[in-house]
Amino acid sequence: MGQTGALGRAEKLRKDGNTYFKRGKYLAAIDAYTEAITLCPKVLVNYTNRAQCHRVLKDWTRVEEDSRKAIQLDSDWVKGHYYLGLALLQKQEYPEGVKELERALDLGRVADPKGYMVEDIWQELAKAKFREWEDASSQRAWELQSLKEACESALRQTHDAFQMEGFLDEDGTTHMKQLEALGRVFEKAAEADTASEVPDYLCCNISLDIFRDPVITPSGVTYERSVILDHLEKVGKFDPVTREPVEPSQLIPNFAIKEAVQAYLKEHGWAYRTS
């Protein structure tokens, strides 16, 4: 079979695979994509199509394999980084998984800012960030509790030793005050791992959701890019708050707010609206 014939056959197999997938026949879809890959191994879409099938079947090892093959063919392939990120998260490799999802999100914003994948990637990234923070938070909480118990034990031993030596505080008043002070110290230390509400200034005026890709209008109001673009297209070319005329080309990235959002999320673990 010549190259043209192989390409034609591979394309038909890809379409067959898509049909099988829509019908829920995932194993048949995998077979079709596999045959297409055998015929034309450099057509990367078949790798991520097959990865999607493996994802549905929760075969994360194969999801990772196909995603990496797709990225080898095109390092800017959004779905490759997206599926690889999901697979790594299943292995609890949170830093690497988050890194891949962040890469997918950046590429997706460039390729299709209003596309469905950007929203999907964002949601998965938010959940991944929270799981990463929760895992680290649990570890810190265990370490704090162990340290607190060790300090309480040391205070008890000191108190008992003082009593045996005939020092005052027979009623334990000083000891109780020390324990209370110790408790306040550790309570304060644990506050960093407590989820909190996102400040209003970090949220879009229209969607009320936290900023992902903030842009500022000539009037000085910041919005989520996809949200304000949707407003300009469907409602009218004006600032929703100031009513001043706005063209899409006048929207400027608000890097200060973006950095503030990233700093907040890093500190508070993305613990917001992820359910």
Give me the DSSP letters along 25-69. -HHHHHHHHHHHHHH-TT-THHHHHHHHHHHHTT-HHHHHHHHHH
Question: What kind and span of H or E run contains 222?
Answer: strand 222-224
pLDDT of residue 24: 95
**Percent of the chain scoring above 70 in pLDDT:** 84
Mean pLDDT of 64-76: 96
pLDDT of residue 169: 56
- Whether pLDDT at 14 is above 50: yes
Task: Evaluate whether 190 touches 141 at the Cβ level (below 8 Å).
Answer: yes
Q: State pTM to two decimals.
A: 0.59
- Whether pLDDT at 271 is above 50: no
Residue type, 127: K
pLDDT of residue 166: 58
Give 201's pLDDT tier (boundaries 50, 70, 90): confident
**Span 178-195, pLDDT tens digits:** 777 777 777 776 666 555
Kindly list the strands in the beta sheet with 214-216, ordered across the sheet, starting from the edge strand earlier in the chain.
222-224, 214-216, 252-253
Higher-confidence residue of 6 and 55: namely: 55
Q: Among 26-35, 180-189, 222-231, which range has the highest average pLDDT?
A: 26-35
pLDDT of residue 116: 61
Buried b (16+ CB within 10 A) or exposed e, 95-120: eebbebbbbbbebbbeeeeeeebbee
C-alpha dihedral sign at 244, 249, 250, 251: positive
pLDDT of residue 274: 37
Give 275's pLDDT tier (boundaries 50, 70, 90): very low
* CA distance linking residue 109 with residue 124, whole number of Å: 15
Give 234's pLDDT tier (boundaries 50, 70, 90): confident
Q: Among 60-69, 117-126, 171-180, 251-260, which range has the highest average pLDDT?
A: 60-69
Query: Which two three-digit tokens encode residue 93?
Result: 């490799």
Nearest to 205 by CA among 186, 231, 179: 231
Mean pLDDT of the chain: 84
- Whether pLDDT at 196 is above 70: no
Alpha helices in the chain (DSSP H): 3-22, 26-39, 45-56, 60-73, 78-90, 94-111, 116-164, 173-190, 225-234, 255-268
* CA distance linking residue 17 with residue 28, whole number of Å: 7
Higher-confidence residue of 212 and 76: namely: 76
Q: Among 133-147, 177-191, 213-227, which range has the highest average pLDDT?
A: 213-227
